[in-house]
Amino acid sequence: MEKLTHEQIWSAIDRLALQTGYSVSGLAKRAGLDPTTFNKSKRFTSGGRERWPSTESIAKILRCTDTSVQDFMGSLTQPAATASTDTVDYRTVPQRSVPLIGFAQAGVGGFFDDGGFPVGQGWDEIAPPGNVTESSYALKVSGDSMMPLYREGDILVIDPTALVHRGDRVVVKTTEGEVLAKTLEKRTSNALELKSLNPEHSDLIYPLDEIDWIARIVWASQ
């Protein structure tokens, strides 16, 4: 009987991420793990020895993607996944419909969980092209605070599992229920600095304990 190899198990994780529309970082975050759990840097020790994923982490990604152990084990003998482990090639991801939510609804309590994912059913849906995953959803812009970049009626697709970096356009919800579309200027250990898209609106600084969630804008209908 052939032994299970290090390359086989990591490639199976890469493949599961690709097939379900995630980067490996997004898959880890969706499963409640540290986003770097499956990154290439975690696959070997500093001394170059092979490092294996834990059975607990594998169980969590199977659970959150509704994948059976049998299907995962069956993928171990397939060719290695060709997509980057940190970036999804969205051209290979089937087009998905995503929930469409108004900014006014987004600010009301009870519509989102602590991770910024919409809860409940009965939302309108749209099928935007390109880079959306099963975690994505759409927000319909209202008001002029995001002009000239985004106008009233534009659709923003955001992904709560996507890593957020300085310079990214993001949607932020505060603990007071305010929902904002801004550019992430800086993130420190205790605060977010947000740059306004509309030059007529001031830039903002929020303590982290006043932020409910932050998610990256991955597509807009302009």
pLDDT in tens, 52-80: 999 999 999 998 888 888 888 887 776 55
- 30-39, 56-65, 206-215 — which is least confidently predicted? 30-39
pLDDT of amino acid 55: 92
86 pLDDT higher than 50: no
Mean pLDDT of 14-41: 81
Higher-pLDDT residue of 81, 48: 48
112 pLDDT higher than 90: no
207 pLDDT higher than 90: yes
- Is 79 exposed, middle or buried, given 0-12, 13-18 or 19+ CB atoms closer than 10 A? exposed
pLDDT of amino acid 89: 42
CA distance 97 to 61: 22
CA distance 139 to 102: 5
97, 127 Cβ separation under 8 angstroms: yes
pLDDT of amino acid 70: 85
Predicted confidence band of residue 135 (pLDDT cuts 50, 70, 90): confident
47 pLDDT higher than 80: no
Mean pLDDT of 121-143: 72
27 pLDDT higher than 60: yes
- 118-122, 136-140, 207-211 — which is least confidently predicted? 118-122
Structural domain spans, the chain: 6-80, 98-220
Mean pLDDT of 29-58: 85
**What CATH homologous superfamily does 6-80 map to?**
lambda repressor-like DNA-binding domains (1.10.260.40)
**CATH number among 2.10.109.10, 3.40.50.150, 3.40.1350.10, 3.40.50.720, domain 98-220:** 2.10.109.10
Indicate if the alpha-carbon torsion angle 154, 123, 27, 96 is positive or negative: negative
Mean pLDDT for all residues in the chain:
78
Higher-pLDDT residue of 176, 121: 176
Maximum pairwise Cα distance, the chain:
68
Mean pLDDT of 77-103: 55
Higher-pLDDT residue of 21, 164: 164
